[in-house]
Amino acid sequence: MQPAPASIPDAVVVRLHGALCTLYRYASPLAELFAAGESASAESTDDEAFALHGGGFTIRGQREAWGWTLHLPAGAGLSIDLPPHAHWYGQGSFVRQAFPLDRVSLEPAPLMSWDNGPAGHGCIQEALWLASNGIAIQAESLSESLHAGINPRGVASRSEWVSVFEADGARPALAADPDVRRLVLHATQVTRLRLIAAADLPSAYREALVVIGHPAVTPAEPLLAAPIWTTWAKYKADINAERVLEFAHAIRTHGYPGATLEIDDRWQAAYGATDFDPQRFPDPARLVTTLRELGFATTLWITPFLAEGAANTAEAQALGHVVRHADGAPYRVRWWQGEASLLDLTSPAARDWWAAKLKALQAATGIAGYKFDAGEANFLPADAVTHTPIERSDYSRLWADFAAEHFPYGEARCGWRGQRNAILYRQWDKFSTWGEDNGLASVVTQALALGLVGYPFVLPDMVGGNAYGNTVSPELMIRWTQACAPMLAIQFSIPPWELGEAVDAICRRYADLHVALAPRRIAAARQATLDGTPPIRPMIWAAPDRAEAAAIADQYLLGDDLLVAPVLREGQTARDIWLPPGRWRDYWREAEFAGGWLRDYPAPLDALPMFERQG
C-alpha cells in the first residue's frame, strides 16, 4: 500500500533575491536554491513557476501539490543551502557514516554503489536527501548521471578501488565549516527532481515513498526473532565441517540463543562452485541436519564471481552467462579475492541458470538460504558488455532483487532502489574500532541513515566488527552487543566467551534481551510493510519540531515507544540522554522522567540505558 501524496503547506512560498530562489515557511527561510556557473540569475512569472539560470543552462521549477518539480537540462548544476539550524540526511551508506549527513565534505561524484568507494561511498546509494525542516530533494529515476556532493572543498579523493583489507575509515572527510549545509547536484543527462516541501521530516519521508516504495512483507521472522551467527570473523576462510560443528556446540554450551548459522567463505573448493568442498565438508547434508537438530537453520555465503577451476565457470562462459569484453571474450574482473568472471545478471537465462544451481544445492543439503555478498557497481567494469545494456549500479539492483525473489531467507548488502525487497540489507564490513569511521558508532548512524532513505530492514554487521588487524577488547564487545541488541537483527561471530567470563555473562544477557524484544521488533518491521516507517528511527522522527533532536547521532528509537541510548565511546560510564516530549520510564527500573536532557546518566559497563514511553 503506497502512502497518499502529501499536500504542500500553504505557508511555503518562493521568493527571489538576486540569483537566489528562497523557500520560506511564514517568515522563516527553509532553503536557498541557485544554479551553478557564471551569470547566475533567477526569475519567476507567478507563484506557480520559477527559473534559475547559470552557466548557460536554465533550471525550471513547476509547482505541484507536494512542492515543485525541477527540470534540469544536461549539464546543469544546482546548489541547495539550508539555514545553520537545519540538517541534511540521506543518500545512503558511507565508510565514515557521519550523522547528520552535512557533517561531512563530499566532492560531487556520480551516484553509484561502491564496495569501499574512493571518496567513501558505500554499498547502498539513493537520490534522496531530506532536511530536518521538511524540505527534501528526490530524483524520480535513480541514475549515475546525477552527481551529488555535500559541502565540497575541492579536495580530490583517491581514484582507485581498494578492498576492505586495505581500507581506512576516514572517508568522507569531515566538513570544514560546521555551519554550512550545502547540497550540490550536477546533471549529466536531462533530470527531473522533486523538491518536496512538507511540514516536517517524517512528512517529507512519506512523500518520498511515493517514488521509492516499501516492502509488502517482512524478512523471514527467524532472522528477526533470534541472533544470527556466522563463521567469518572468528575463522575467516579457515573453515571445515568440524569447526562449524564446534562453533555451533559452543554457542549452545554457553547458553546463547540463535536460529541461524551462516557458513561464510570458503565452503566451496573454488569461488563460483555450487557444491561443498569435499575435503572440508565431506557430508554437507549430514552437517546441515545436525545443525538443524541444534536449532540452527543454515545459510551459505555466495557472490556473483566465478573463478577459474569451478565447474560452473566453464559452463557459464560456454552458455554466455558472464559479462564480456567487446570481442566476446569473458571479462575477468577484480575483486577482493583476486580475479574472476562475473555473472551477467542482465540476462534472464543467466539468472534462471544461477537460481537453478543454488536451488539444487539447497534441495540437496537442506540449507535455508544464502548471504548474498558483493554486487556493487565497481565490480562491473565500465567497458564490460552485458546481455542487456545497463548503468553499472543497476547490477546492484539486479543482485538484491535476485536474492529477494528466490532466497528470502538471507541477506544482501548492495542496494540501488531496492527498498521494496523483503530482505535484510547488511551493513558493510565494520572495523573492530569505536568511531563513526566504520566502527561501533557507525553501526547506529548507518542504521539511521539507511532507514531515512527507505531501507527498513537493516542488519548491523557482526558484533565486535570483523577483526581486520584490530584486537576486540572486552569493553568494545560488550558495548557493541548492547548497541545492537534492540535493533531489528543482530549478528555474532567473535565468541564473547573467548573474552572472559564477565564478557560472556553480559553479552549473553543482551543476546537474551534481543529475543525478549522480538515482539516489538517484529511489530515495527510489520509497520514498515504497511506504511514504510523505518523500525529504527532517529530522535528527529519523534520530535521533528525540536532543534536539539536534529543532530543526535548516538540514540535511536525502536518503533514509537522504546528509546535506546547505547554507550559508543571507550571508557564512558555515564552519558547525556535526550528524551522526546512526554513521559519516559527507565526500562530497568521504575524511575520516570519528563522529556528533555538527562545529564550524566549512569551507564556502567553492564548497563544499556533504555526508556519506555508512558501513556
Distance CA 548, CA 552 (A): 7
Question: Under DSSP, is residue 61 helix (H, G, I), strand (E, B) or coil?
Answer: strand
Q: At what angle do helices 311-319 and 348-365 cross, to 10 degrees?
A: 150
Q: Among 104, 107, 204, which Cα is nearest to 148's?
A: 107
Spell out the residues 6+ positions from residue 485 whose beta carbon is closer than 8 angstroms to its own: 510, 511, 513, 514, 517, 608
Catalytic residues: 373, 376, 437
Please say whether the beta carbons of 200 and 462 come within 8 A: no
In the DSSP assignment, the letter for residue 587 is T
> Could you give the dihedral angle defined by the CA atoms of residues 564, 511, 607 and 611, in that order, rounded to the nearest 10 degrees?
30
How many Å apart are CA 4 and CA 434, to the nearest integer?
Answer: 41
On the 0-12 / 13-18 / 19+ scale of CB atoms within 10 A, 305 is buried
Q: How far apart are CA 290 and CA 283, in angstroms?
A: 11
Contact between residue 145 and residue 189 where contact means Cβ atoms under 8 Å apart: yes
Q: What is the DSSP string of 265-292?
A: S-SBSSTT-SSB-TTT-S-HHHHHHHHH
State the amino acid at position 605 in one-letter form: L
Q: Give the integer Cα–Cα distance in Å for 472 and 496.
A: 10
**Cα separation, 516 vs 222, whole angstroms:** 13
| C-alpha 319: how far from chain center | 34
Distance in angstroms (rounded) separating the CA atoms of residues 329 and 308 = 14
CB distance 604 to 573 below 8 Å: yes
DSSP β-ladder status, 260-263 and 146-150: unpaired
Hunting for cell 516489538 — which residue is that? 520
Q: Is the peptide bond before 252 cis (omega within 30 degrees of 0)?
A: no
CA–CA distances in Å: residue 263 to residues 92, 228, 368, 399? 28, 11, 12, 20
State phi, psi for 63 to the nearest 5 degrees.
Answer: -65, 140
Cβ–Cβ < 8 Å for 104, 166? no
Phi, psi values for residue 34, rounded to 5°: -155, 150
Q: At what angle do helices 284-293 and 241-253 cross, to 10 degrees?
A: 0
